[in-house]
Structure 1
């Protein structure tokens, strides 16, 4: 077992961590690109209280908010291959489902989780916009799409950005659980490198620093964008 801090390992740990950085960023970006528009659409359905659909969305949100992300990973990662195997065998599709790269499961899992969390963010943000504004938009001849794009969404984003920022940061940190999928992201790469010499303390220090820098940079960028959005209120 290791008895002292191995500073020489830090360079190797940083190198392998940076190799996993594109995977971490890629999973985060793909999950956001899908979940942002999808969650906004589902939030509007909840706001309009569409029968049945609204109740299903509420159950979905409650499931995600009430269960640990790690449990969601294990459930989805275990159930999807089983369902695909049944479908492929039924239709005689000659494909090895166990050869699917884990990043595809990561896209599904983190999109599934992030969408549910953002639904509540958008739902509460939509509630801050005066309903009379969309009626006024209709009165001047705007379509629903135009009203949302030019009036509702810009105002809603001002209220939503702080919570969106929190959810993006939480998503980045949650991708560290990709090791459960054998996903070659930051955490798994560094932990594997640490196994040979039991350099786990150094490994966790590097992981801590990489995620701190990454999350701080993203948070700074989103805060600047939030300040940009609020400028119209000062006019």
Structure 2
């Protein structure tokens, strides 16, 4: 029989790892957006050789399941770090690499392929006429980017960034495979402690839903303010 007191206890227990999950997701979103921006610029300006390499790289990331990439990086990244640090004369034990680092690197790389498309689409939404007008006023590339392109592109990309953030939060449930505890992992732990898995997973579902509702409301308000400003 479903027990609401167990649900309440599991809900509070899972809430304890929500800040860690949200911060981890923010860091991944930030890094993937930075890398995605670089990829978008390379593709936009069609830099020879590099653009072709990036195309293969993003195709691989889009076509490979996240769980496969996670295990691939879990076994490969420590060895890569060991080799690179050995070149510069730093001793490093591959077994000392924190699994959280593997999660950050894996999901940042995975999401960068999708973030690049969001950024490209947002940049392309800004008309050429506005860019030409900025150049006619004497704006250089960085001034045009920061004062004309970025504010308008941000408005277009904001809902997609929210979606990406929610995708990352939910994708972090895979991190338990390499011992990193997030919302889903904490639900499994709570369920195992009480042998009441139904209540634990209902609590996790409610928390995911609550996070999504709060983030959507906040982003909608911010987007409305941006649209009023521009």
Superposed pair shares fold, TM > 0.5:
yes
Using the TM superposition, give the Cα deviation of residue 145 of structure 1 relative to its aligned residue in structure 2, in angstroms.
0.5
2:46 counterpart of 1:62 = no
> 1:223 aligned to 220, 223, 230, which one?
220
| Residue-by-residue CA offset, 1:90-128 (whole Å, 9 max, x unaligned) | 777544332332222221122112211110011122122
**What is the root-mean-square deviation in Å for CA atoms of aligned residues?**
2.1
Using the TM superposition, give the Cα deviation of residue 133 of structure 1 relative to its aligned residue in structure 2, in angstroms.
2.7
2:136 counterpart of 1:139 = yes
- Number of residue pairs aligned between Structure 1 and Structure 2: 230
| Residue-by-residue CA offset, 1:174-202 (whole Å, 9 max, x unaligned) | 11221112112111122122113431111
2:103, 2:172 → 1: CA distance? 8
Q: Is the 8 A contact 1:64 1:117 kept in 2?
A: no
2:192, 2:42 → 1: CA distance? 49
1:151, 1:92 → 2: CA distance? 46
Partner of 2:125: 128
The answer for unaligned runs of 5 or more in structure 2 is none
The answer for unaligned runs of 5 or more in structure 1 is none
- For the residue of structure 1 that corresponds to 2:125, the secondary structure is coil
Partner of 1:50: 47
TM-score normalised over the length of structure 2: 0.89
Q: Is the 8 A contact 2:82 2:91 kept in 1?
A: no
2:147 counterpart of 1:150 = yes
2:177 counterpart of 1:185 = no
Change (3 A) 1:131 1:54: farther
